[in-house]
Structure 1
Amino acid sequence: MDPLEDVLALLETRSQLSASLEAGGRWAVRFDGPAGVKFNAVRRGHCVLEAESRPDPIFLAPGDCYLLTRPQRFVLRSDPPGPEVDAGTVFRGARNGVAHTGTGQDVLLIGGRFTFEAPGQELLLDGLPPVIHVPAGTAHAETVEWALTVIEHELSKKPVASTLVAEHLAVVMLIHVLRLHLASEPHMVSGWLAGLADPAVAAALTSLHADPARAWTVADLAHAGAVSRSTLAARFKESVGQGPLEYLTHWRIQLAAQKLRKSSETISSIAHSTGYGSESAISTAFKRVIGVSPSAYRKHHRMTDSV
């Protein structure tokens, strides 16, 4: 099993594409903090990103893309900038899927956002920096560029099922951006994502995800990573921020939460399928991690879904 694939699937990752943005001359567009993970990619021209989480602007060139992994206000602008205008005003005037600002057509950006329907998105987002910038031409960025090129083609030419194709490709792009970031900036990642950069910890994480119901011991996981028990415990804690068995508890609870939301399985059945011997055992662990009992959690989400 692949931990990153598991988490993205658990969170029911989806993309929603917005209108493209075309700009020219001196311009600046101000955006409120978006929900989910915002992305933009520069397909033509140059512009500047100013995000409230970063002290310095990011200069964007053709082929560059970025992710905003936290809700934060940001500005896209020319260099030098023009007067700021509100993004809502600009995008309400979009025609044929393209919004315009400034004068001319020097710059073209495509973008959208990724949303996560399941609770527990902190599994993914808390380990990432607030802004991820992927410059064009960097090592292994070719697949991101390919995905962006096809997305742009789907949005501009609009063949049959173009929106569906573009949105699926955006999720592919997200995965490749995360891969690139893990490979090129491992020091900028924390939590279980950081553990994927350590071969021994990655082996332990893969083992846990392959069989979360197993009664794992730290010694078992150390054997999978070909290191000693003490070495794995120290390296796992240093990179992931919690011990292997603590991580296993949290992962089991996220799997149980998904079953409570999506299935009609009994709590006893869910307990056994996620490594707990009884309904009382999972209830204790679930309440410690989530803050409510499994039955209260299921009732809340059924009421929410019916609204």
Structure 2
Amino acid sequence: MSQVAKAIAPTLKVPDQGLFKYRDEVMWSLSNPARYLPSEAIDHLLRSIRLSAAVPGHANLTAPFGVDVSYGPDTFVIYEAYRGRCVVAFDAPVESVTFCQGDMLVLPCHTRHRIMAPEHTPCIDIRDLMARQVEPHLIDAQGHPSLGLLLNQHVNYGGGGELFELRMVIMFVDKQTSGALINGLPGPMLLKNFADQHRSLLNAIHDELDVQRVSQSITQPAAIRLTEALLTIALKEATSQPDAGPIYKGLADPAVARVISAVLKEPHRDWDLQDLVEIAHVCRSALTSRFSASVGMSPRHFVSHVRLARASELLTNTRLSIATIAEKTNYSSEAAFNRAFRKWCGLTPGAMRETSAQSA
């Protein structure tokens, strides 16, 4: 065996099956790295993210300007401050942020916001602005809506003063996949200097779509894969933010992360504490204390949180009956589900569904 192979042999657990061999020596360097790289919970969760579509956007806004923005329940947006600065304000209790050149802003679904310069400038509704500037130009010669024409549109708005140039990627989340990482964000997350640090990837996304647009061959799979790469990096960065939500905070602790990954993968399973202890590879008291320290709740409460968050998704995005959702999230009865859900968010499942329908 070579010296390099001997040096790493004690640390790698590499299955013999499917590996290349040279003179009866394992050629580990030519095997699939997934066979021997450590598996982190965040990596497993990031691989679960699936988008159904991705569309880039570009806006040139000149002060004074104000735009009131809201997207659909399946829409997740990443903004890039490409040039200049502005203020982005949110509904209470989320505080406004100053959005500067080189920063990125990750906006979870259902996040209404106002983009302004200076702050408190009266805002036009984004739907009115799009109807005025974009929608009339999206019909092709055959009278059909054209994705290629949409990608060719830039929004220009404002009073003609200092320029704020905004690039964005609008993502549509596949409802068939768990939105644990996306829905687990506590709110908007400002990633300082993120765009500058990942400039090549951002340029690649926009440049590739420009090439496809010019060639009149818009290939959504290419756009989706590039965008998923950007989203993956942005969400991994979000795990290090001090104001990250419970799922993100727990991923910093390996034992807690293993439990989070398992519960998110099978939220419907009838988990008991011993199951979670065996997955975490620590004793009961250590798991409980580490979970409380990093996530802010006990393992048992986290299981309930994940189930009820999944139930909230099903109430919002499907027409399944409340009884069926209760069964899918492992509640013994619809009454037990109603009690748990109301205690969790202050609304009954029926009221949550009605509220979501009104805001859609």
TM-score, length of structure 2 as denominator length: 0.58
Identity percentage over the alignment? Answer: 18
Question: How many residue pairs get matched?
Answer: 281
Cα distance change of structure 1 residues 152 and 47 upon mapping to structure 2, 3 Å threshold: farther
CA contact (8 A) 2:85 2:100 kept: yes
CA contact (8 A) 1:110 1:152 kept: no
Aligned-pair CA distance for 1:248 = 1.0
1:245 and 2:300 aligned: yes
Secondary structure in structure 1 of the residue aligned to 2:232: helix
Secondary structure in structure 2 of the residue aligned to 1:73: strand
Partner residue of 1:47?
Answer: 84
2: distance between equivalents of 1:266 and 1:179? 34
Aligned-pair CA distance for 1:108 = 5.5
Aligned-pair CA distance for 1:98 = 1.6
Larger Rg: 2
TM-score, length of structure 1 as denominator length: 0.66
CA contact (8 A) 1:18 1:111 kept: yes
CA contact (8 A) 1:129 1:189 kept: no
Secondary structure in structure 1 of the residue aligned to 2:231: helix
Cα distance change of structure 1 residues 145 and 179 upon mapping to structure 2, 3 Å threshold: farther
Partner residue of 1:173?
Answer: 230
Cα distance change of structure 1 residues 173 and 281 upon mapping to structure 2, 3 Å threshold: same
2: distance between equivalents of 1:15 and 1:76? 30
Matches within 5 A, 1:69-108: 69=108, 70-75=111-116, 92-93=132-133, 96-100=152-156
1: distance between equivalents of 2:205 and 2:169? 14
Which runs of no fewer than 5 residues in structure 1 stay unpaired? 78-82
Partner residue of 1:205?
Answer: 260
Amino acid at match of 2:230: M
Q: For each residue in 1:35-73, what CA deviation from the matched residue of structure 2 results, as whole angstroms up to 9, or x when unmatched?
A: 465433356xx3213224667744314xx5433454332
CA contact (8 A) 1:212 1:248 kept: yes
Q: For each residue in 1:173-196, what CA deviation from the matched residue of structure 2 results, as whole angstroms up to 9, or x when unmatched?
A: 3333112232xx332312212112
Secondary structure in structure 2 of the residue aligned to 1:242: coil
Cα distance change of structure 1 residues 28 and 14 upon mapping to structure 2, 3 Å threshold: farther
Amino acid at match of 1:236: F
2: distance between equivalents of 1:213 and 1:90? 43
Amino acid at match of 1:159: Q
Partner residue of 1:193?
Answer: 248
Matches within 5 A, 1:140-289: 143-154=201-212, 156-157=213-214, 159-162=216-219, 166=223, 169-170=226-227, 172-182=229-239, 185-256=240-311, 262=318, 267=323, 271=327, 273-289=328-344
Q: Provide the alpha-carbon RMSD of the alignment.
A: 4.7
- Counterpart selection for 1:292 from 348, 356, 360: 348
Which runs of no fewer than 5 residues in structure 2 stay unpaired? 1-40, 138-151
| Worse overlay, 231-240 or 122-131 | 122-131
Off by >6 Å, runs of 4+ in structure 1: 13-16, 53-56, 115-118, 120-123
Partner residue of 1:32?
Answer: 68
Cα distance change of structure 1 residues 236 and 74 upon mapping to structure 2, 3 Å threshold: same
